[in-house]
């Protein structure tokens, strides 16, 4: 029976991946995003960091949010992999793990005996998740970044203007690519229950980007027309599907079906519009956009944003006020539903980070621990591995661990 409580979050005993141990050998976003999902879902995720710490800890500007957003609910172990003793500690951890998550360049971990072939020979049940720039093919050994694959994969072109490609600001391929790595890992975990064997799961940024632009590729194949960049000539398939100015802001309004159109026209437009045969069907309204959209814009610009949103809500129509990301901190829905997690940073200060966008029986997987300081759990982890306190102190003195 599902345990019910007044909290919007599950407790640790209810999390579906409780009892699963993960060693995360990753940096930047793609790997940590995968580790975050596994950790939030209850897995014990040990983040192995270099002695100086994950470099995202030191990023500034637009990179300053990387570490605090993607590293909660994890333990930090700082080890020098260039030392034989540090390398052996990492191998021992990997051989005790259910999963390893890594986003090093292909072959980069073989020198430490932390590649799939080496580890699976000793731990056949290991699920090894490799998060890469490219999957199988001529590009397999290239390095890549989110922005690189957005550029070569058509996403920046379709998102841009007539004169220049423009990357999607969010790290969509890193985050979604990490998520697909987790999908593969969970599928492999399910299969292991029957087979007893682990698998090597790979997810790629470029192939992830392909999925994001697949609808535009299909459009070209079906119509013969190459989609134009959205910043150059946005041509949605519906008549009213646009951002409209209001008296004090802007609102996106979407009217996508005939019933919705009748509802919208009756509530917001002059009576003759609802009966106009030129607007009878979605195809008609799309063809009439050149005069329909300016006409609707002229009518809606006198509304105040709050009033228009309330009226659209009452009419059961799709809409969204235009906001900046930081304005979501005050969103009543996100606050009430537990989607914003108060998170304390290792160096001090506090942010609100996004919860995993999943609910189980109406509750989310929340925050059990804040992002750790570098090496915060090194001693505890090594004690659980069977090392005694003197040995741990000697390793720290020798610069093998931090």
Assess if residue 74 is contained within a domain: yes
pLDDT at 5 over 70: no
What mean pLDDT do residues 107-128 have?
96
Assess if residue 208 is contained within a domain: yes
Same domain, 358 and 299: no
365 φ, ψ (degrees, to nearest 5): -85, 115
Q: Final residue of a domain: which of 292, 324, 356?
A: 324
Confidence at residue 1, expressed as pLDDT on a 0 to 100 scale = 39
364 φ, ψ (degrees, to nearest 5): -95, 165
Same domain, 307 and 281: yes
Same domain, 320 and 387: no
Assess if residue 305 is contained within a domain: yes
Same domain, 121 and 152: yes
Q: Final residue of a domain: which of 264, 291, 324?
A: 324
Same domain, 209 and 254: no
Same domain, 92 and 129: yes
What mean pLDDT do residues 191-215 have?
97
Same domain, 20 and 50: yes
What mean pLDDT do residues 52-75 have?
94
Nearest to 110 by CA among 87, 137, 142: 87
Confidence at residue 162, expressed as pLDDT on a 0 to 100 scale = 75
What mean pLDDT do residues 202-229 have?
95
pLDDT at 232 over 70: no
pLDDT at 380 over 70: yes
Count the alpha carbons within 13 Å of 355 in the hemisphere toward its beta carbon. Answer: 23
Same domain, 254 and 305: yes
pLDDT at 198 over 50: yes
Same domain, 60 and 143: yes
Do residues 99 and 38 touch, judged by C-beta distance below 8 A?
A: yes
Structure token pair of residue 169: 């600001």
What mean pLDDT do residues 16-20 have?
97
Do residues 165 and 151 touch, judged by C-beta distance below 8 A?
A: yes
Residue with tokens 């009217």: 255
Assess if residue 329 is contained within a domain: no
Do residues 6 and 175 touch, judged by C-beta distance below 8 A?
A: no
Same domain, 171 and 267: no
CA distance 1 to 18: 17
Assess if residue 366 is contained within a domain: yes
Do residues 66 and 353 touch, judged by C-beta distance below 8 A?
A: no
CA distance 376 to 86: 16
Residue 402's pLDDT band (cuts 50, 70, 90): very high
- Domain with 288 in it: 240-324
pLDDT at 104 over 90: yes
Residue 3's pLDDT band (cuts 50, 70, 90): very low
Residue 295: CATH number of its domain: 3.30.1540.10
Assess if residue 224 is contained within a domain: no
Residue 381's pLDDT band (cuts 50, 70, 90): very high
pLDDT at 4 over 70: no
- Report, as residue numbers or ranges, the catalytic residues: 174
Considering its fold, how many domains does the chain have in total?
2
Global pTM? 0.94
Residue 291's pLDDT band (cuts 50, 70, 90): very high
Assess if residue 228 is contained within a domain: no
Confidence at residue 337, expressed as pLDDT on a 0 to 100 scale = 94
Same domain, 276 and 303: yes
What mean pLDDT do residues 61-65 have?
92
pLDDT in tens, 278-290: 999 999 999 999 9
What percent of the chain has a predicted confidence (pLDDT) above 70?
98
Assess if residue 127 is contained within a domain: yes
pLDDT at 227 over 90: no
Mean pLDDT for the chain overall: 95
Same domain, 170 and 59: yes
pLDDT at 195 over 60: yes
Nearest to 232 by CA among 161, 181, 173, 303: 161
Dihedral angle computed from the Cα positions of residues 43, 48, 53 and 58, in that order, rounded to the nearest 10 degrees = -40
Residue 54: CATH number of its domain: 3.40.50.10540
pLDDT in tens, 138-173: 999 999 999 999 999 999 999 998 788 999 999 999
Q: Final residue of a domain: which of 295, 324, 353?
A: 324
For the chain, state the CA radius of gyration.
26
């Amino acid at each position: 029976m599902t345990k019910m409580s007044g909290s919007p979050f599950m407790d640790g005993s209810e999390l579906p991946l409780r009892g699963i141990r993960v060693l995360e050998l990753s940096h930047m976003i793609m790997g940590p995003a995968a580790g975050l999902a596994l950790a939030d879902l209850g897995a014990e995720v040990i983040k192995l960091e270099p002695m100086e710490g994950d470099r995202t800890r030191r990023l500034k500007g637009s990179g300053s949010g990387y570490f605090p957003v993607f590293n909660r609910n994890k333990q930090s172990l700082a080890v020098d992999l260039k030392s034989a003793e540090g390398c052996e500690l990492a191998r021992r951890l990997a051989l005790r793990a259910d999963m390893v998550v890594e986003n090093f360049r292909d072959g980069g971990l073989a020198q430490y005996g932390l590649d799939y072939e080496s580890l699976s020979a000793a731990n056949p049940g290991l699920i090894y998740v490799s998060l890469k720039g490219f999957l199988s093919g001529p590009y397999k050994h290239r390095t890549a970044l989110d922005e690189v694959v957005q550029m070569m994969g058509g996403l920046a072109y379709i998102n841009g203007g007539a004169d220049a490609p423009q990357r999607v600001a969010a790290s969509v391929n890193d985050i979604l690519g990490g998520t697909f790595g987790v999908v593969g890992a969970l599928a492999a975990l399910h299969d292991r229950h029957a087979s007893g064997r682990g698998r090597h799961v790979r997810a790629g940024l470029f192939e992830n980007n392909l999925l994001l632009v697949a609808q535009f590729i299909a459009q070209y194949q079906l119509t013969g027309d190459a989609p134009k960049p959205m910043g150059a000539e946005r041509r949605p398939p519906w008549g009213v599907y646009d951002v409209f100015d209001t008296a004090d802001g802007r609102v996106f309004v979407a009217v996508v079906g005939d019933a919705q159109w009748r509802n919208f026209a009756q509530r917001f437009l002059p009576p003759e519009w609802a009966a106009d045969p030129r607007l009878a069907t979605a195809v008609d309204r799309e063809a009439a956009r050149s005069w329909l959209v300016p006409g609707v814009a002229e009518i809606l610009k006198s509304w105040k944003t709050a009033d228009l949103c309330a009226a659209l809500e009452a009419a059961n129509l799709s809409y969204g006020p235009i906001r900046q990301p930081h304005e979501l901190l005050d969103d009543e829905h996100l606050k009430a539903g537990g989607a914003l997690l108060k998170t304390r940073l290792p160096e001090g200060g506090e942010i609100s980070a996004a919860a995993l966008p999943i609910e189980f029986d109406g509750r989310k997987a929340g925050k059990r621990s804040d992002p750790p300081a570098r090496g915060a759990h090194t001693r505890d982890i090594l004690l659980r591995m069977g090392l005694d306190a003197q040995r741990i102190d000697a390793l720290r003195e020798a610069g093998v661990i931090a």
